[in-house]
A and B are shown apart, each in its own frame.
Chain A
Amino acid sequence: DAGVIQSPRHEVTEMGQEVTLRCKLISGHNSLFWYRQTMMRGLELLIYFNNNVPIDDSGMPEDRFSAKMPNASFSTLKIQPSEPRDSAVYFCASSLEPAVGTEAFFGQGTRLTVV
């Protein structure tokens, strides 16, 4: 398996534009996490899906952010409209069914810059 695949790796967009980040899970994994990483706030969990269902979205900053899992192997994180403070590296991670010791496998991240 190629691991968790994120696209694009880098995105530069203008304030107010819609941004869509994409993530392909490892085959057979059924848990999906979206994280945001910044210098100021570190690693923040945005949303967690299990079996395509959002379980915990308490980390989603505001209504401008939305995440979906249209199928078991793919997820999108959308920001509309984007703002400069959304600039960060966004990671998705997948894992098997949550259990003791379950390891999360991370993608390489999408570096988003909103100008």
Chain B
Amino acid sequence: AQSVTQLDSQVPVFEEAPVELRCNYSSSVSVYLFWYVQYPNQGLQLLLKYLSGSTLVKGINGFEAEFNKSQTSFHLRKPSVHISDTAEYFCAVSDSNYQLIWGAGTKLIIKP
């Protein structure tokens, strides 16, 4: 069965600094990967997804993620964060039934 590991429960970073949120998944023949964002008191919304093709995927709000098959990783990055990026970020993988398997989430804390 697929599994997703988000190694950091919280990542504090200064405003305008770069950030990387880590995600690793259990290996599979075919894998489809997602990052969702949950702003305070909101539901989750899709940030970006990898299905095939270019391993660098660009999403909304300046975020991007890189699919690395050899390291079974799909880390999320942003070159310069803003206070509005304060949220919890969830990595997910789609299994053979196309259901989403979720990571535990990483809280991004922006320090002024």
Tell me which residues across on chain A come within 8 A of B46, comparing CB atoms: 103-104
Contact A98 B98 (CB under 8 A): yes
Contact B32 A106 (CB under 8 A): no
For the complex, what is the distance from the CA of A109 to the CA of B42, rounded to whole Å? 7
Q: A112 → chain B, closest Cβ, in Å?
A: 14
Assembled-state Cα–Cα distance A48/B41 (Å): 23
Q: List B residues at the A interface (Cβ < 8 Å).
A: 32, 34, 41-46, 49, 51, 90, 94, 97-100, 102, 104-105
With A4-B43, A100-B98 known, 20 other A-B pairs at CB within 8 A are: A42-B102, A45-B99, A45-B102, A56-B99, A91-B43, A91-B44, A98-B99, A100-B32, A100-B51, A100-B94, A101-B49, A103-B34, A103-B49, A104-B44, A104-B46, A105-B45, A106-B43, A107-B43, A108-B42, A109-B42
